[in-house]
Structure 1
Amino acid sequence: MQDAGALLRIAYEAMKELEIDVLEVLSRCNISEDVLNDKDLRTPNHAQPHFWQVLEDISQDPNIGISLGERMPVFTGQVLQYLFLSSPTFGSGWERATKYIRLISDAASVSISTDANVARLSVNLDGVTEDANRHLNDSLVIGAFKFCQYVTEGEFKATKIAFAHPSPKDITAYSNAFTCPIEFSAADNYIYFDANLLERPSSHAEPELFALHDQLASRKVAKLELQDLVYKVRTVIAQQLESGVVTLESIATELDMKPRMLRAKLAEIDYNFNQILADFRCELSKKLLANTNESIDQIVYLTGFSEPSTFYRAFKRWMQVTPIEYRRSRLASCKTKG
């Protein structure tokens, strides 16, 4: 599961405002500052606990989720924002958002329920249950709250906020962030509000734009589903690599697809099987050379090459240096840093 790169970018802006050592955070999370400019960036959701732990360690802020959430820019500039603004009402905007929520995160779960005059917005990341991830819950709820205020031009008011995680010893940061009652150890993260707001008309409502934004969101989700296929192909490659026989046909069989269909779906997003296989082998080779003491012969086997000469030629083509030269340069670089 992956999250939209936009989430990392708004967190980046908030970290700078808090004067946190952003480069140190990114370095500890193995993230290059350059990738923040990649509009198609998706980050692994399973890395969230590590990211927030690094943030707490560096900031020494026991409520870094609240602090960061308060300073994060509103989630704008994305198709979901445009879909919301062009929707007839606040409620219909959320109906569309729940349909296309994976544009923000594959693990995100959003829903709205009503009981009499009270509406309840549930905002969660599936599988995020550890107390150590309290910071993620906090920033998620604040982000959703600020977005609701933005699309309603400040009319949105919460009547109660509920967090899935247990109450911390000191809840001052929560009381300062929200003026409404706060609950902890709830079944999910919830934002309660007046149900009448669901019928609030959008001042930017535009039926034609709404239809266009809906189509655009649908295409983006379809593209993400195709990109999921690339991840599945790489996963099967990893499983089959040591056998030395990895082909489009063998991958297609494992994925229960016809080779022609697999080739066509990859082509839809400008991928081809040979390039995916070469990129995977290159990445694996670099990791094994830089981070292990495995012999070249063993690396040849682990990367699925039939003989060392084939591996040498491929690696030289990828990196413009031989495997031995690459290992020496990485070793020298580590010694210099040390």
Structure 2
Amino acid sequence: MPERTTLSSWVRGMVLAIELEGLDGRALFAELGLDYAALDDPDARFPQDDMTRLWQLAVQRSGNPAIALNIARVHTPAFPVVGYALMSSRNLAEGFERLERYQRIIAEGADLSFRRQPEGCLFSVQVHGDRLQPARQSAECSLASLIGLVRWITGRQIRPLEVQLAGEPPRDVTPYAALFEAPLKFGQTHCAMLFSHADMDAPLPTANAELARLHDRFAGEYLARFESSRFSHQTRQVLCRLLPQGEPKREAVAEALHLSERTLQRRLQEEGSSYQQLLDDTRRELAQQYLATPHMTLLEIAYLLGFSEPSNFFRAFRRWFGVTPGEYRERGAR
């Protein structure tokens, strides 16, 4: 299965955020064996697991677990066409819908979701790795970048109604409170921001329907070329959405992708995967992420992964990791 990758322009933004902490980005790349010169190649991409290693090293060197929040001060577009498409949208809601549509161009490891709810509009991000569990800074970087971008575009100090953050609260939450200026909820399964409908529906000063259509065309063409060889990630996104409803049947996934079951299986085989392998891999990765959230019970995790019986989840988990879910969680807590 192809490893998830991140576009060089987004990685450049990460490096700028790290360097704002006083670190030497070039030296960190050299230590990790990464190609610093590739940051200047607009088509270059970096493996998601290498981005996890970069965040881990940056936190270790700086001693600042909130280092990813620095990206709110960086206004380098993660992917110019996507950034311009957002800016030319009628309002932020339309811009966020475009961001969700084209996110895979920027980073395959991140699943973005924008949903209207009665209490407000929820923008959420969930990051996945290949061999390594993603650093919490990856998702926090996305939220920080977005809040900085919307304030810059609108010229207003937009404040979320609520910010949800994965993992336990850090010792010092001051940087989070200072940036988001909103109620913070730690210990969530993924990161998200809840915005008011009024903020999302207010006209953007940069709106331009003709430019929005032009950027849609460019981004759509790029995404079509990119997805032609990255179909497994698209299938994985559907699985993540369907799993809480029970084990997804191949037929339901094919229908969600507007394909026949035969075409689904053929396209996965072309990428060296299969439906059952992808389902198993997706469950394994989500299990790791859910177990890192202390307040989630093993029963809740089993059902979120689509297992009809907890015993089926325990058997699968022992096959994946050689230990029980409880033992795995205890090891992570040490």
TM value normalised by structure 2: 0.62
Q: Distance in 2 between matches of 1:20 and 1:110?
A: 29
The residue type paired with residue 12 of structure 2 is: R
1:14 Cα deviation from its structure 2 partner: 2.6
1:255 has 2:270 as partner: yes
Q: Deviations over 1:147-187 (max 9, x none)?
A: 22223232522121110222123323323333211110113
Q: Verify the 8 A CA contact 2:230 2:271 in the aligned structure 1.
A: no
1:22 Cα deviation from its structure 2 partner: 1.9
Gaps of 5+ in 1: 230-251, 258-338
1:46 has 2:46 as partner: no
Gaps of 5+ in 2: 232-266, 273-334
1:76 Cα deviation from its structure 2 partner: 5.8
1:108 Cα deviation from its structure 2 partner: 1.8
Assess, with a 3 A threshold, how the Cα gap between structure 1 residues 198 and 60 changes in structure 2: closer, same or farther: closer
Question: Which has the higher Rg, Structure 1 or Structure 2?
Answer: 1
Q: Deviations over 1:120-164 (max 9, x none)?
A: 111222359988712223222211211222232325221211102
Q: Verify the 8 A CA contact 1:3 1:106 in the aligned structure 2.
A: yes
Assess, with a 3 A threshold, how the Cα gap between structure 1 residues 202 and 128 changes in structure 2: closer, same or farther: farther
The residue type paired with residue 72 of structure 1 is: V
Assess, with a 3 A threshold, how the Cα gap between structure 1 residues 62 and 90 changes in structure 2: closer, same or farther: closer
Assess, with a 3 A threshold, how the Cα gap between structure 1 residues 27 and 201 changes in structure 2: closer, same or farther: same
1:219 Cα deviation from its structure 2 partner: 0.7
Give the corresponding residue for 1:56: 59
Match of 1:14 among 13, 17, 35: 17
Q: Deviations over 1:288-331 (max 9, x none)?
A: xxxxxxxxxxxxxxxxxxxxxxxxxxxxxxxxxxxxxxxxxxxx
Q: Verify the 8 A CA contact 1:69 1:139 in the aligned structure 2.
A: yes
Match of 2:71 among 69, 72, 80: 69
Q: Which has the higher contact order (CA 8 A, sep 6+)?
A: 2
Q: Distance in 1 between matches of 2:161 and 2:152?
A: 17
Q: Number of matched residues?
A: 233
Give the corresponding residue for 1:159: 161
1:77 Cα deviation from its structure 2 partner: 6.1
Q: Distance in 2 between matches of 1:168 and 1:12?
A: 22
CA RMSD after TM alignment: 2.8
Equivalent positions of 1:177-216 (< 5 A) are 177-216=179-218
Q: Percent identity?
A: 21
1:149 has 2:151 as partner: yes
TM value normalised by structure 1: 0.62
Q: Verify the 8 A CA contact 1:123 1:144 in the aligned structure 2.
A: no
Q: Which has the higher mean CA deviation after the structures are superposed, 196-205 or 183-192?
A: 196-205
Match of 2:225 among 201, 223, 230: 223
Q: Verify the 8 A CA contact 1:88 1:206 in the aligned structure 2.
A: yes
